[in-house]
Structure 1
């Protein structure tokens, strides 16, 4: 039921709308109203930033792991960035440096690919980046 709602409207549904969407006795109008309210709350928080990260058609955040060279080179890629990728790089670099607790290793390196506009982070940080993006309203 929920997958049909998300694919028919092509909008991202936040987790706060899930309990209402799963109720058997709720109407489609109530579910849609909850989705719109959750989207407005999220978009108001993200509207203040100089960049946006659009969700995929399935409603997920476009954060992926890229593994190369016999599983020795691992990086995390953030795609679908609109606006200033440099500002996203700076904010993400600050977040990863603040959360880095190992004093013997440097925090992960964050770079912007100029041709594609993707932000790449050295290492595996998909879960942390997705949590950070959701907290920022994307």
Structure 2
């Protein structure tokens, strides 16, 4: 009945056999990670994102940027943000105000700087 299909099906129980395995080459070494040693550490949240948040108050006229989960010397981080987030003498640097709140959080006021802060933290190695 199915004799016309026999040339196409081939043997029923044929499996490929491997007489020897070829040795796998070892994976390339991982690049070394440059560890940064600062007197502060910004811990990422449970979704592996930086804990930098925006808060808009007073009907959209006051923008705050909040950095949470700061461990270590938080005042050193606040001073570093004041000095190196923007070029000295720029209009943004003159408007920037950095406050330490509850010894674990930093609040930046004066503008919409969430992306600038996140890029700055990533450049520092966090």
TM-score by length of 2: 0.68
- 2:116 alignment partner in structure 1: 128
Q: Distance in 1 between matches of 2:50 and 2:68?
A: 9
Provide, for residues 95-137 of structure 1, a one-character-per-residue CA deviation record: whole Å limited to 9, x for no partner.
134266338x823011101x25210111211101101101111
Q: Distance in 2 between matches of 1:75 and 1:109?
A: 10
Greater share of residues in strand: 2
TM-score by length of 1: 0.62
Greater share of residues in helix: 1
Q: 1:110 aligns with which of 98, 110, 117?
A: 98
- 1:77 alignment partner in structure 2: 66
Q: Which runs of 4+ in 1 moved over 3 A?
A: none
Provide, for residues 52-81 of structure 1, a one-character-per-residue CA deviation record: whole Å limited to 9, x for no partner.
000011110000111111111111000010
Please identify, of 92-101 and 117-126, the stretch whose mean Cα deviation from structure 2 is larger: 92-101
> How many residue pairs get matched?
98
Stretches of structure 2 that go unaligned for 5 or more consecutive residues are 1-26
Residues 79 and 97 (structure 1), Cα distance of their counterparts in 2 relative to 1, 3 Å cut: same
SS of the counterpart of 2:81?
helix
Q: CA RMSD in A?
A: 2.3
Q: Distance in 1 between matches of 2:62 and 2:91?
A: 20
Larger radius of gyration: 2
- 1:41 alignment partner in structure 2: 33
Q: Distance in 1 between matches of 2:95 and 2:84?
A: 10
1:1-138 equivalences in 2 (<5 Å) = 41=33, 44-45=35-36, 48-98=37-87, 101-102=90-91, 106-113=94-101, 115=102, 117-122=104-109, 123-138=111-126
